[in-house]
Structure formats: structure tokens, C-alpha cells
Structure 1
Amino acid sequence: MIWSKAPSKTILVIRLLMAAIFALYGCVKLFGGQFYYGDWDNLSKSTVDGTSLVWLFYGYSPFYGRITGLFELIPAVMLLFRRTTFLGAAALFVVGLNITLMDFAFDYPSVKYLAALYTVLCGVLVLQDRGKLRDILADSAKS
């Protein structure tokens, strides 16, 4: 298949790019950015657009906002090490898929296409190491 023949330099660039992007987003969330953690008293459906409402909802719990940051940051760091690349890529594929679905469901502007691209690139990393997935899922009784 094409993914197993991808040049190692291409895979390295994808790994580093995804690590940088998800680490950045994870840090922004960890340090209290991206979501709205402010005053909820003067907010209503008539004064807040749908995309802002999503950030308000996620920001309702600072704990949740920071945990989602960890779910991006930790796997991003795992991409920096060859031994943990598969696990980091698999985790970021799931995280990216969730972000992509949310972005399309709430009709975020062009960022939804970037989220889809990041998800696909994480999928490429997972497919590159699909032998590890086969090993994990293999029936050890047949061996």
C-alpha cells in the first residue's frame, strides 16, 4: 500500500508538524486560552453566535478545558519519539476526528478543513505503523 512506501523524511515532517500543531493547541487550552471562562450572566442566544456558544459551553468548566489540552499535548509529545509515535498518532487521530466532527457540525469557517487535514495526517501516521496495530489486535492463542 502507498502508506508503507512513504519516504521516511515525509513521515518525519508529518510527525513534527502534527506534534507542533497539537502541542500549540494543547498549551493554549492548558493556559486558559481558546475557551471562554468569563461571566455568563449577560449571555443569551440572541447575542451570541453559534460558534461562540460552543466555546462558551466548553469554557463553562475550566477543568474540562484544561483536560482537553492535555489530550492534545501529551500525544503530541509522544510523536517526537519513534517508540511512542504510533500511540501518539492513534490518540491524536481520535482527538482530531472529534474536533473535525465538531467543526463541521457547528459549521466553523475554514478551520474545519484544517482540522480534517490534521486528522488525515494523523491517520497517515497510524497507517504507516499499522503493523503495530496488527500486533496489538492479533489473537495470541493462534501464535
Structure 2
Amino acid sequence: MNAKLVSRGLIGTRIFLAAVFVMYGSIKLFGGQYYYGDWAMTKQTASGTGMVWAFFGYSPVYGRFTGLFELVPALMLLHPRTATLGAAALFAVRLNITVMDFAFDFPMVKYFVLGYTLLALVLVWHDRNRLRLMLLRPVEVVSLLSALDASGAPPRSEPAPGRRA
């Protein structure tokens, strides 16, 4: 596949997910989406969706906290240096929401959420080598840096002992 096309697609995916989750996160931060205030419901009279919105809205602090965990990774997606961490964080948050939406039988929106989760997974998968580098021990980083030649070309050796490529 054309590398330029893949690169543009990944940038487009990052911008799309950032726009979607800046919106969702902001709505939650400003007090929307959840049922705040007084309410009364039972399992017999409330839908799964209503129960979830009431649970998250039971504590306005927690409800806004969930918005922060959508907003911050979304903003991280917009900068190439933080995009990998943003995608990983957003994937973790989205995976939880996806399972919740299917478990509580949310309406059609659960399929959109699944799509967003899969898009975040694509970003994480594409940057999996960057994530691996973040998990190296300091001694392994020093070893990699010392193996670089004067031209800056990467070493042509096997991975560090105990690590798989």
C-alpha cells in the first residue's frame, strides 16, 4: 500500500477521533449527558441506558472526570509527539465504553462506539513499535543509543536479550 496514502489516512483518523472526543469530553465536563440531580428509578422501570446515565451522574465529580479522560487523549492525538500515548489512552477508555454499551444494550450508538474503538486500535497497532520503545529499561535505551553509528543509522543487530522483536 502507498506509504503516503497510509500516512494521510492515519492523520485523518487522528483528527477525526480528536474532533469526536473533544466534543464528547467537553459535553461531559460542562455537565451534559448524565442524569444529575434528583431521580427515582427501578430496574423494572428504567432502561440499561437510563441506569448507566444515572449511575455516572450520581456524582457530578465522577461524571466530569469521565469527560476529562476523553478530552485529554483526544487533544494528545493532535500533536505527533503525544499521538501514540493519546491513542493508547483513548483505546483503553473506548474499550471500556464499548463493553459497557453492549452489556447494557445501548441503542444503535453502541456500533458507532465500536467503530471509534477499532479506529483507536488501528492507531495503536500502527505505533506499536513506538510503544515498545517506551517500555524499554534505561540500560536498553543506552545500549540502543550506543549502537547507533555516526550517520544515525539504526543498529543491525538482534534485539536486547530477553526481548522479542
Q: Which residue, 77, 94, 97 being the options, matches 1:96?
A: 94
**Matched length:** 140
Larger radius of gyration: 2
Q: Which residue, 30, 47, 58 being the options, matches 2:45?
A: 47
Shift of 1:138: 2.9
Distance 1:116 1:5, change over 3 A: farther
Instruction: After the TM superposition, list the runs of 4 or more consecutive aligned residues in structure 1 that deviate by more than 6 angstroms.
Output: none
Residue 69 of structure 2: SS of its match in structure 1?
Answer: helix
Q: Which residue of 2 aligns with 1:10?
A: 9
Identity, in percent, stands at 57
TM-score of the superposed pair, with normalisation by structure 2: 0.79
Shift of 1:137: 2.2
**Contact persistence 2:25–2:70 (CA under 8 A):** yes
TM-score of the superposed pair, with normalisation by structure 1: 0.90
- Name the structure, 1 or 2, with higher relative contact order (CA <8 Å, separation 6+): 1
Q: Which runs of 5+ in 1 are unaligned?
A: none
Deviations 1:25-76 (A, max 9, x none): 1001001111000213x43333322210111011000000000000000110
Tell me how far apart the structure 2 counterparts of residues 130 and 97 of structure 1 sit (CA, whole Å): 17
CA RMSD of aligned residues (A): 1.8
Tell me how far apart the structure 1 counterparts of residues 104 and 41 of structure 2 sit (CA, whole Å): 19
